[in-house]
Amino acid sequence: MSIKQVGIVGSGQMGNGIAHVFAMSGFDVLMTDISAEALSAAMAKIDKNLDRQVSRDVLSPDDKAAAMARIKTTQTLTDLGQMDLIIEAAVERETVKAAIFEDLLPHLKPTTILTSNTSSISITRLASRTDRPEKFMGFHFMNPVPVMQLVELIRGIATDEETFKACYDVVEKLGKTSSTSEDYPAFIVNRILMPMINEAVYALYEGVGSVESIDTSLKLGANHPMGPLELADFIGLDTCLAIMNVLHDGLADTKYRPCPLLTKYVEAGWLGRKTKRGFYDYRGETPVPTR
């Protein structure tokens, strides 16, 4: 199964990062979003990130120009129908993802592989709503995509070996490393990472430490490159809450109960870096803890 053309649904932080790495690796990319402004911003972000690689001699100017030329954009979702591989990287809400696949189905060629970049939602359940559960997989990149080396590959209960092998080979061509996860809530990385972040929020909620002391403790005491609350802001507190809810609902274990303070921040619209406020306030020159 030869994959040369890749469709990406969503041009946000994950979508534009995925487009970047595929174009760098020689794939033709078609990226879609409902917003023309979002697509323009995504292309500008990719251009800026490629420039950074040129400045570090990771990439030549000619290679950068060739990568940019491989990326096309469209606001029409169904234009992706003739792609060999489609990666859905929309918002982490199952209803949205299911609707995207439903709209795509009548326009797909028989051999197209469908995948989702979901960080927690059941691949088996998403696949069951399509006409090709055997050609459906989880294809979970880490953020930021151009920097992080891991891709989680998640088989649904019906995923066939040919589809898995094709996706595995794609990860190799991207120069990244794959890990294979069974289809359980939040897979491997977020099954371990999100409860740690949630516990850090509980430590803040219960007054064990301040934002600054919790993050400093994990950075210097556990050699983490980023503190858990700083990391939560980077990921997006709404995404963290969504994953904790998937864990809590899917595994029915109280140890996955989202911290009420995390819920409160999301209700306030303080979602982290993307809204300029979360556990830190990013509206000034340097981030300032909000608690």
Active site residues: 119, 140, 152, 190
Q: DSSP of 46-95, one letter per residue? A: HHHHHHHHHHTTSS-HHHHHHHHHTEEEES-GGGGGG-SEEEE---S-HH
Sign, Cα dihedral of 221, 222, 223, 229: negative
Q: Find out whether 160 and 36 touch, Cβ atoms under 8 Å.
A: no
Query: Strands (DSSP E) along 106-175, which ranges?
Result: 113-116, 136-141, 150-155
* Rg (the chain; Cα; Å): 19
The answer to whether 139 and 153 are in contact (CB under 8 A) is: yes
Phi, psi (degrees; rounded to nearest 5) at 51: -60, -40
CA distance 242 to 43: 28
